[in-house]
Every structure is written in C-alpha cells, then in structure tokens.
A and B are shown apart, each in its own frame.
Chain A
Amino acid sequence: MKKYFIYELKKSSFTIACLSVILTLLYLVILLSTEAGRLGINAYTTYLAVPAYSGAVLAFAVPFRQLDYKMKKRSADLFFSLPLSHSKIIAVKFLTGLIIVFAPYTLSYWLGAFAMMIKTSLPINAVFYIPHFFITLLPLYIVYAVSSFAFTRAGKASDGVLFSAFWMIAPMLAVAVLGSLIKGKPYTDIEGVTYLYDPYFHPEYYSVFSPLSYFTSLFAELISADGYFMDTSSITIANMIVGFALTALMGAGASAGLFIAEKNARFENIEQISDSLFGYKTALPYLTVCLTALCHFAFFLAVFVAVGAFLLTAVYRRTLKIGNKQAIIYAASLTAGIILALICAYVL
C-alpha cells in the first residue's frame, strides 16, 4: 500500500505543481490588481476568500479525477485486479486527492497572505492567518469527503458529478423549505434587508460550502484589527453552529460511508444506471419537492421545476420513456411540492 501511495503521489506531482501555480497566480493577480482602500472593510474578506473558495472548488472537483477509475470498466479491470483490496486502493486514491487539494491551497494561502501583508496599507492582525488556515482545512475536508462519497455512488462519471452537486446543496434546500413553512412570508430585518426565509432557517448557512464562507468572514474580522463589522447576532451564530454541525456530520458520514460501501463495490454496477439510494432515487423526489415548494412566491417557476425534474429523470433512466414507477414518483413529488408551496403562500 505504501509503495502504491508513493507511486500515486509521484504520478500526481505534476498536477499538484500546476494547481499550486494556478491558485497562487490567481490569488496574487486579484491581490495586486485591486485596491484594498477602495474595497474598504470588504478587502479582508475578499482577499481571504480567494484561496478558500479556490480550495473549495478543488475539494469539490478533485474526487472526479481521483475516483473515476470506478466509473469505467476498463480502469476497473486494472485496479480491481491489482493485488490490493478495494478499500486500500480507494484509501490511497482518497489520500492522494486530499493532498492535491491541500497542497495548492496551502501554498497559495501563505504566499497570498505574505503578499497581502507586504502590499496592503490596511491594519492587519497577521497572527489570525494561522488559526484561519488550520480551521479552513476542516470544511475543505468536508467538501472533499462529501463530494467523494456522492460521486462514487454513481455508475457513470456524469451522474457522479450531479450527485456531488446535489449533496452540496441538499441540506440548504431542506432548511429553505422549513424556513418558508415556519415563516410563510419573506422576512425583513431591522436594517431593512429582506430574506425569503425565516432568519433561524437561513439556507445560506446550510450548504456544504457554507462553513468555509462564514469561517472566512469571521476571521476576516479578526485579521482586520478594526473591530467587527459582520453580523454576529445570536441568530447568525445559531445558524453557524447548527449548519457546521450538520455539514460536519455529513463529512464524517461520507468518510465512513466511502470505505464501508467499498467493501460491497461491484464491478457489474460500473457504467450501469446509477441506482444508489444516495443518487437519483433520493435526489429526484427531494429536489422536486423542495424546489416546487420554494416556488410559493412565484408559482410560474414550478413549470421550470417540472420540466427540469422530467429531464433529470430522463437522464437517470437514460431514456425519455421514464416508465410507470418513475412517472408516479415524478407526479407525487410535484404534487407534494405544490401542496407545500400552497401552504407557504396561503395557509401560514
């Protein structure tokens, strides 16, 4: 296993180097081409967000490169016949992928931070870069683990990408619907900002990417040395804690699930219809119900949801003839979504 890990690492070294250069250049170009003074207090968040969001994109996408050997019969023929258990192969691929995410992130983060310290005229509490860097590794790992697990539930890479995208926003959608049900009408806070949802169920805090975003905003305050400007009301803090707990739970579940499921991985499912419970089977009704329910403020949008859901069902079954069972699920999900939307609009 060690020899294979070294081989994978050597094989990925060029990719790691390229990504490190791209991410660093991206950070430096943004840093050097913007005037911190004009960005004002947003400068800290903006500059801190560049490596964090680039890292998030990597964490989301790298599993597609690392784990697509499970999506093609040709590559599975090779990897499944090697004298290593399926679990060890996926462990090596997973770990190498994590290095592909973390190494460019680390390099771009610190080079960017040093450039920021040298270039900017803004006051900086540089010491907070250290905890921010280490803390953001956790949400990056969560994104990577959830994306890895969701991607590998598919029989085909394109399905896997859709599953990963779905799980990134799945908790956010449920929270948005719950928020709409509890506070049926859009909510306006004391500063005049209008939210479409109940403030205690603010979906912004419940995507798998969210912790990265609000950790970055929080630390931008600390690094700014100017006191805080971010909304850290009890409502926001509550949303952050619950949101982070939820995504952390998802990350832990995804990490464990990836290896548990690998023990039952079957060659015969490769390139077949993606029938996992973590794929279309759950995603289709879930998305249909949630998105239709969220059309309570503009019902005509439900038409787009209906068309989208049908197209996604066709992608799932790989035919436009979706069959009776799928048609029933489709109709039932739309009906449930419309009922929820009506409740949000007229009952609550």
Chain B
Amino acid sequence: MIEIKNLCKSFGDKKVFDGANITVGDASICGLIGINGAGKSTLLRIIGGVIKPDGGKVTVDGEEVFENERIKSRLFFLADDPYYDTGVTGLKLKELYKTFYPFDDSVFDSYINTFSLDLKKPIRNFSKGMKRQLFVAVALACGPEYLFLDESFDGLDPLARLEFKRGLIALQEKGSTIIIASHSLRELEDICDSFVLIDDSKVKVSGKIEEALDNIFKLQMAFEQDIKPEDLPVRFIRAEKVGRIITAVAKGDKQQVMQKLESLNPVILEEIPMDFEDMFIEEVRKEGYLK
C-alpha cells in the first residue's frame, strides 16, 4: 500500500505540495489527474524515490522510499520523457534494466513483436511513439509490484494503447499497484478504479471513479415558462441556458434532484451521460480555471 501523509514539497518559493494526503490500496490502478503544473510528475518522482520530500511521509508497504534500495527494487518509475544514452539500442536498454529488475524476456519479446520494433536500431532513430512503445515494453517486462507512469499514453497509437492497457490490467491482476498521471482521461477511465485530483498543492478530490461518477450528473431540461437556472429549486454546480434549454451539472442525490425538477412539469428532463473527463472539467471549473 502507498501512503502519503502530510506531504510538503517546494521548489524555491513555489509550494508544490502543502500537506497532501493520499492512500493507494494494493492491486489497484489509480489515475493521477490535475491541470498542467499541478504537481503530478513531482508526486510520481517523490513516490518513485527520485525526489526527497521536504516534509511529511511517503511510504510503500510501511517503508520510506527515498534512498531505500529494497523498496525501490519493487517499484518502477517511467518518466514522461524517458532517458536513453546516445547511440543506445533497444537491446542495450534491455541490458540496463535487466541489471536492476527481475526482467521477463518473454513478456518483453511479445510486446516487441506486437509493436514490430527493431531492437538493433539506435533508439534516437525511433519515432516518439516507438520510443514510448519500447519503454512500455520494458516497464511491463520488469513486472514491478508498484508501477508509476507519467503520461505514458502520450504518443501511442490506438492499437498500442489497447495493448498497453491490457498489459496494465494483466499486471494489476498479478497484484501490482499502478499509478498513472495522464491527461488522457478517457484512457484512465477505461482502466483506473480510483483517482486523485491534485490542485493548489493539495489533493482536491480522490476516491473510486465509479462512485465519483455516480455522485455527479448532467441534466438537460426545458420548461414551458421561461425559467432562469438560478430560479430553479436545485443548486447546480454549473448551469447554462441556450434558448429555452438548460444544461446543468449537479452533485448529490440524483433521485431527489429529479423529483424537485419534475414538480415544475418540465417539457424535457433527461440525464446526459457524464464521463471522467466531464467530471474533471467540472472539478477544475469549480476552482476557477475555466470560465
């Protein structure tokens, strides 16, 4: 289990984290979301033992991560722009990771075949997507107990994304815990069971994706009279009126809200499906990032 308690981290005058608390359970896939500069990559680097926190505790299975070789041998951090030496080929990259992790050649080879990568070519000659495919293959072949991925869907084609997601689910089924920082919220929704939304140096919202989506909903309605959204007997997170149609997002007990609105005899009242991305947009809109 990953536990972050009262995490504080600053870069010069800029506070990136000021008392953040996060818990990620075993064998789960957690999506780390937030606007650009919220601190997602920093958080992954802290959990991955790259950066030392200024304050608070970051533990994996009860042990602090920074400079802890034993814990770090069980986790794998894949940065958003992974490093490779000039002239390094896929084969040499494999050798490096084999030095440190219990590398599964068969898993690696199967991904290399699926992605049709030439391991004898220098990585610098690969396209962005091919580089990403290679590092994804390395990460999955290392089979870590804890896998931290930073924007790892970025640059992957739809087929590679599908293979990657399958690989992550297979890893989770073996008991691994995965944290993915990404802006591809639709991809996260497909595979993540929980999420953490970081904003303003704190954890704004976290929990199970399904529960969060159950708790927030979008409605479309129209009434015979010309009613303004603020005159309705329901408090919406956001509401827009175009002509007679009101589109509104609400949080809480869906049935109760529907009952209140139905009492006004609407001409139209229907729920519009809401996904993880809509939920994220509503959350960041609340913080004033979107007008």
Distance in angstroms between the alpha carbons of A125 and B100 in the assembled complex:
50
Between A7, A83, A267, the greatest number of chain B beta carbons within 10 A of the residue's beta carbon is seen for: A83
Chain A interface residue count, CB cutoff 8 Å, equals: 21
User: Contacts A74-B82, A77-B83, A268-B11; is A82 near B72 (CB within 8 Å)?
Assistant: yes
Residues A85 and B83 in contact in the complex (CB < 8 Å), given A3-B99, A4-B99, A77-B45:
no
A80 to B69, CA, bound (A): 11
A16 CB to nearest B CB, Å? 15
Contact B11 A75 (CB under 8 A): no
Task: Pick from A11, A74, A82, A84 the residue with the most CB of B within 10 Å.
Answer: A82
Docked pose: A77 CA to B96 CA in angstroms: 14
In the complex, B73 has a CB within 8 A of chain A: yes
Q: Across the interface, name the chain B residue whose C-beta is closest to A267.
A: B51
Taking a contact as CB atoms under 8 Å apart, the answer to whether A81 and B49 are in contact is yes
Given contacts A3-B99, A11-B92, contact A81 B77 (CB under 8 A): yes
Count of interface residues, chain B, beta-carbon cutoff 8 Å: 25
1/0 per residue, CB under 8 A from A, across B70-100: the answer is 1011001101011101000000100110011
Contact of B50 among A3, A10, A76 (CB under 8 A): A76
A119 within 8 A of B: no
Q: Is the CB of A7 within 8 A of B99?
A: yes
In the assembled complex, how far is the CB of residue B179 from the closest CB belonging to chain A, in whole angstroms? Answer: 13
Contact B96 A7, beta carbon cutoff 8 Å: yes
* Bound complex: CA A80 to CA B83 (Å): 12
- The answer to whether the Cβ of A185 comes within 8 Å of any Cβ in the partner chain is no
A7-B95 in contact (CB<8A): yes
Q: Is A183 an interface residue (CB 8 A)?
A: no
Which residues of the partner chain B approach A81 to less than 8 Å between Cβ atoms? 45, 48-50, 72, 76-77, 79
Contact: A80 with B50, CB < 8 Å?
yes
At the interface, yes or no: A127 with Cβ under 8 Å from chain B? no
B99 touching A78, Cβ below 8 Å? no
**B228 within 8 Å of A (CB atoms):** no
Known contacts A81-B72, A84-B69; A267/B83 CB under 8 A = no
Partner of A72, one of B72, B76, B83: B83
Measured between C-beta atoms, what is the minimum distance from B94 to chain A in Å? 11
Determine whether B52 belongs to the interface, using a CB cutoff of 8 Å to chain A.
yes
A86 within 8 A of partner (CB): yes
Whether B67 is near chain A, meaning CB under 8 Å from some CB there, is: yes
Assess the A83–B69 pair: CB atoms within 8 A: yes
Contacts of A83 in B (CB 8 A): 69-70, 72-73, 100-101
Measured between beta carbons, the chain B residues less than 8 angstroms from A318 are none
Please judge, given known A-B contacts A7-B95, A77-B45, A77-B50, whether A84 and B83 are in contact too, CB under 8 Å: no
Nearest-Cβ distance from residue B37 to partner chain A, whole angstroms: 15
Would you call A4 and B100 a contact (CB within 8 A)?
A: yes
Least CB separation from A84: chain B residue: B69
| A84: B residues at CB distance < 8 A | 69, 72, 100
Q: Which residues of A contact B73 (CB under 8 A)?
A: 83
User: In the bound complex, how far is the Cα of B99 from the Cα of A7, in angstroms?
Assistant: 7
CB-CB under 8 A from A75, the residues of chain B are: 83
- For chain A, what secondary structure do more than half of its interface residues adopt (helix, strand, loop), or is it mixed? helix
**A275 CB, min distance to chain B CBs, angstroms:** 11
Within 8 A of A (CB), among B40-71: 45, 48-52, 67, 69-70
A86 neighbours in B (Cβ, 8 Å): 67
Residue among A4, A74, A77, A80 having the largest count of chain B Cβ atoms under 10 Å: A77
Q: Mark A2-14, 1 if CB is under 8 A from B, else 0.
A: 0110010011000
Chain A residues contacting B51 (CB-CB under 8 Å) are: 80, 266-268
CA distance A83 to B70 in the complex (A): 7
Residue ID in chain A nearest B70 by CB atoms: A83
- C-alpha gap A86/B79 in the complex (Å): 18
In the complex the two chains form, what is the Cα distance from A268 to B76 in whole Å? 20
Central interface residue in A3, A7, A84, A268, by most chain B CB within 10 Å: A268
Q: Which of A11, A74, A82, A266 contacts B79 (CB 8 A)?
A: A74
A84 to B48, CA, bound (A): 12
* B67 and A77 form a contact (CB under 8 A): no
- Contacts A11-B92, A74-B81, A74-B82; is A267 near B50 (CB within 8 Å)? yes
Identity of the chain B residue whose Cβ is nearest the Cβ of A86 in the assembled complex: B67
Specify which chain B residues have a CB less than 8 angstroms from the CB of A3 in the assembled complex.
99-100
Q: Binary interface profile of A, 113-157, with partner B (CB < 8 Å = 1, else 0)?
A: 000000000000000000000000000000000000000000000
Contacts of A80 in B (CB 8 A): 49-51
Q: Which residue of B lies closest to A11 (CB)?
A: B92
* B68 CB, min distance to chain A CBs, angstroms: 9
**Least distance between B48 CB and chain A CB atoms (Å):** 5
The interface bits of chain A over 58-94 (1 if a CB of B lies within 8 angstroms of the residue's CB, else 0) are 0000000000000010111110111111100000000
Kindly provide the distance from the CB of B102 to the nearest chain A CB, expressed in whole angstroms. 11
User: Which residues from chain B contact A77 at a C-beta distance below 8 Å?
Assistant: 45, 50, 77, 79, 82-83
**B65: nearest chain-A partner, CB-CB:** A81
Chain A residue contacts of B100, Cβ below 8 A = 3-4, 82-84
Contact partner of B83 (CB less than 8 A), chosen from A10, A11, A74, A268, is: A74
Give the complex CA separation of A279 and B193 in angstroms.
Answer: 49
Is the pair A78, B69 in contact by a Cβ cutoff of 8 Å?
Answer: no
Chain B hits for A76, CB < 8 A:
50
The CA-CA distance from A267 to B11 in the complex, in Å, is: 10
| 10 chain-A/chain-B pairs, Cβ below 8 angstroms | A3-B100, A10-B95, A78-B79, A78-B83, A80-B49, A81-B45, A81-B72, A83-B69, A85-B69, A268-B51
> CB within 8 Å of B: which residues of A?
3-4, 7, 10-11, 72, 74-78, 80-86, 266-268
Nearest 6 A-B pairs (CB), nearest first?
A: A83-B73, A83-B72, A77-B79, A81-B77, A74-B83, A80-B50
- Known pairs A74-B79, A81-B77; list 8 more (Cβ under 8 Å): A4-B99, A7-B96, A77-B77, A77-B83, A81-B50, A84-B72, A267-B45, A267-B51
